[in-house]
Chain A
Amino acid sequence: MSEAIARQIDPSQMKVSDEVAIQISQMNKWYGTFHVLRDINMTVNRGERIVICGPSGSGKSTLIRCINRLEEHQQGQIIVDGTELTSDLKNIDKVRSEVGMVFQHFNLFPHLTILENLTLAPIWVRKTPKAEAIEVAMHYLRKVKIPEQANKYPGQLSGGQQQRVAIARSLCMKPRIMLFDEPTSALDPEMIKEVLDTMIELAEEGMTMLCVTHEMGFAQAVANRVIFMDQGQIVEQNNPKEFFNNPQSDRTKLFLSQILGH
């Protein structure tokens, strides 16, 4: 897995401020009667890169989807950038405009060109003038290395290219926090690298990132903290070195042995 990572950077060298970006305390969530997230407590500082892993169905997606209110929590507190997520629509809009999200299946808008995908939210949500929005969009397309695809439709791009467009689309809103939900697990191995490279670059620039992924190479390369979840709970969290070399809980050991293919 780690061979997908082109460059090795030293995560401990990258600065993490002590300003809090996300604060989750005593958070519980149910789907009907199913207790999917149990007593989640976690603090994310600005500039942190956090990888969340765990077995299927452990609630990883649900957790990061709560952070931009794609899912509603029933108990506890989620504070993003000083704004508490409640049913107040104003707060939700505010948080969503600060938080970018990248999905497993890209979720590009198939009826719009790449450029339109990128400029839509800046124009309609941020009220950016069109010319400026296009300029910003082209900047990020260059950054993810596909400016020549600007006028194509998503259906004409490869999976890896689509995912990079999706990342660029989020970046166009100038978010302060980025959420990734298994961004590479719908991709062929040769495309995983190009997406991970883009994410590493983003990490180097100091973006606060929460990433659900099974790419342990990526975790070792950029994360400053790995969170392991099982059955809706945070079972273990540690820096990557300790997490992989010296896991504490039995569940973590079992999971790591499965995922690292021993």
Chain B
Amino acid sequence: MNTSTSTFVRTEMLPEQSPPLTEAGAVKWVRENLFSSVLNGILTVLGVAVVAYIIVGIAPWLSRSVWNAGSLSECRQIIAATWGEGVTGACWAVIRERWPQYLFGFYPSHLYWRPVLAFALLVVAVAPVLFDKLPRKMLWFSLVYPAVGFWLLWGGSVWVPVTALAGFAIGYAAAKLIQPVAGTILATIAAVLAPVLWWLFLAGPVADALHSIMPIALQGVRSREFGGFVLAFTIGFTGIAFSLPLGVMLALGRQSDMFIVNKLSVGFIEFIRGVPLITLLFTASLLLNYFLPPGTDFDIILRVIIMVVLFAAAYIAEVVRGGLAALPRGQYEAADALGLDYWKAQRLIIMPQALKISIPGIVSTFIGLFKDTTLVVFVGLLDPLKGITDAVRASTDWKGIYWEPYIFVGAIFFLFCFGMSRYSMYLESKLKTDHR
């Protein structure tokens, strides 16, 4: 090419060439990612050392796993016989023998099918919520699932969950009736008040009456018989399902111009966030009894669930408030200018965006809530981690077993929490429409 001329026209196009050898493949990757600088190199070496140390510590113990034994001492004999005296090994036999207890606690064993069925139906109910490719009609089942799940788990008269569900229908009907006559605000109040009154005063007698006419019932199971993962899932999933809507309402309440609504929301959120969950659980198990009329049989799991829901809802409210604050005012104005009323604007414009922003925070709260279900051990319920493990260790066979149950329970918790975390990442990337 003649560089002295300033005009230039290419006559031949250059063919594509493969990159120089050193710049491709594994060598390049290692250099760029692991040893790009002295500091990076040191950190790489340190990291590898830490991982190696952990593996060297655990691997031999894991490699000497015993799956078939009737007690801890038998386990130890087998380990000694197989790998020699003085070495340690993992005794998974305890899980093999006691897994029903880890899953079901003291739930009557001939009724195990009921929690299993409830869990299977839970998957069906949750699926359309998680994946919008599934038919939208399935959401109707998701809506009634709480009643179905409740009936399967606790049994008793079918009319109890039915009348409880009816409360929601009553709230909806009340709102629909009052909205045209008295406006949105009164309709909202009616939508809350009517079901609460129904549940407090009418649902019980109506359920009894219906039961005497048409007695359909499953064998009842008392809450104290619940335990293990049935208990953790019952509290965890109910908590998740109810804390999100309540949290959203609290976030909206905190943004509201209505003085009372605003102050109540702020007070509630700040109070709940300022108190340890354990305190709330103790309140649920002990103090509530003083406030309730004597003789009321207010189910302990229900009480715990209410506290867990309130606790998580306060956190979610703050997370969602962050999402709301991140929305430009123009979004509200555009919704107003188009004539959307408050609830429609919230539902169609504001919440979809605010919740999308809040997904990581919401899922963190859910994960926290799910793990915190183990705290119910402090109010005498048999959580899988400590409650059941202590029960297992109380038997002479498994006295002294330590790591294996915790690893097992931890692994199951990890599986579900990791699943939630991955799902939230999937959701975030799916909802990404801003193309920034």
Contacts and interface: CB of A to CB of B under 8 A. Distances in A.
Nearest to B338: A121
* A: interface residue count bin: 20 to 34
A169 B352 CA distance: 19
B337 A70 contact: yes
B337 A68 contact: yes
A111 B354 CA distance: 10
A130 to B, nearest CB: 14
Contacts of B348: 120, 124
Question: Which of B184, B431, B434 counts the most chain A CB atoms within 10 A?
Answer: B434
A110 B336 contact: no
A255 interface: no
Interface residues of B, number: 24
A93 B435 contact: no
B336 A153 contact: no
B224 interface: no
B422 interface: no
B434 A110 contact: yes
A30 interface: no
A70 B336 contact: yes
A124 B356 CA distance: 22
Interface majority SS (helix, strand, loop, mixed), chain B: helix
A48 B328 CA distance: 32
B7 to A, nearest CB: 30
Question: Which of A69, A89, A121, A169 counts the most chain B CB atoms within 10 A?
Answer: A121
Given A70-B336, A96-B337, A107 B330 contact: yes
A109 B349 contact: yes
B52 to A, nearest CB: 46
Nearest to A166: B334
B349 to A, nearest CB: 6
Interface in A77-112: 89, 93, 96-97, 99-101, 103, 105-111
B334 A109 contact: yes
A113 to B, nearest CB: 8
Contacts of A155: 433-436
B353 interface: yes
A226 interface: no
A107 B331 contact: yes
B339 A93 contact: yes
Contact of B338 (A69, A106, A156, A169): A169
B331 to A, nearest CB: 6
A93 B349 contact: no
Contacts of B341: 89, 93
Interface in B379-436: 431, 433-436
Contact of A111 (B184, B328, B336, B433): B433
Interface of A: 68-70, 89, 93, 96-97, 99-101, 103, 105-111, 120-121, 124-125, 153, 155-156, 169-170, 173
Interface of B: 183-184, 328, 330-331, 333-334, 336-341, 344, 348-349, 352-353, 356, 431, 433-436
